[in-house]
Amino acid sequence: MTGYATEELLACALARLVGDAGHVAVGAASPIPATACTLLRAKTGGRPRISLQHRRRGNPFTEGSRELFDLAGQGRIDVFFLGGAQIDGEANINLVGTGEYPELERRFPGSFGSAFMYFAAKRTILFREEHSPRVLVPKVDFISAPGWSPAGVWRRGGPQALLTGKALFAWDAARRRFRLESVHPGHAPEDIRAATGFEYDCPAQVPATAEPAAEELALLRGPVAREIAASYPDFARRVWGEPALPA
């Protein structure tokens, strides 16, 4: 790839997935989803509303996550982002650890509110930069948040897609499987198959993920970079150099 950073490609892809959402919540330590939402708001002149949990400046709530969960429970969060140390082909995520629970070989930070948000938010976009059999596994060792629920179990939302550093998968709720939608420039469908531990559907012809447009790159490297630098200075410095912090 030339002419743009991988982070810019991923932010543009996430922005397209968010689409016309009215209210998007972004968890802590999620600079690329935050960049995607900031880009989308710059393009539309005000949408979506972003609840950024990473820092107080971007978080309108006085009591932190409790208010976010209240909004989600009321159906007022349109899109949420989730990742996982492991993600499997049924869109289950693992944030607890690897090995046989409770005697885990390795522990992760924990589920926090992931299971609730996966059920309550209208749409969830799964995002993980690393695309390897270590992350995309046949079956997660522990289900922190399930990708689907049996009939009779209340659930407002669920997975929309899975975006990684190599490809984009769409979620087929009826079949409970992922479908390969596009492959990022510099990768091929056979690369994706070799790097993915779970089975998925694949069309005969797989398009390339759309590259950032000139207008998007101008926004990313201008107002978006300045806004993101206030919450994620190290990320902004790594991707765009030294964007000026807003006054």
For the chain, domains (ranges, CATH) are: 6-240 (3.40.1080.10)
Give CA separation, 43 vs 6, 79, 113, 150, 223, in Å: 20, 18, 30, 39, 11
User: What digits encode the pLDDT tens for the residues 155-206?
Assistant: 999 999 999 999 999 999 999 999 999 999 999 999 999 999 999 999 999 9
Across the chain, which distance is largest between two alpha carbons, in Å? 52
pLDDT at 243: 64
State mean pLDDT over 120-140.
98
Within 98-148, residue ranges assigned H as helices are: 114-120
- Whether residue 58 is predicted with pLDDT greater than 60 in this model: the reply is no
Q: Global pTM?
A: 0.93
pLDDT at 98: 92
User: What digits encode the pLDDT tens for the residues 79-102?
Assistant: 999 999 999 999 999 999 999 888
Give backbone dihedrals phi and psi of 117, rounded to 5 degrees, phi first. -65, -35
Sign for the pseudo-dihedral over CA of 201, 203, 205, 209: negative
pLDDT at 1: 44
Q: Dihedral through CA 38, CA 240, CA 32, CA 61, nearest 10?
A: -50
Average pLDDT in the chain: 92
pLDDT at 110: 82
- Whether residue 67 is predicted with pLDDT greater than 50 in this model: the reply is yes
Give CA separation, 209 vs 3, 14, 132, 221, 243, in Å: 15, 11, 19, 20, 27
pLDDT at 109: 82
State mean pLDDT over 136-150.
97
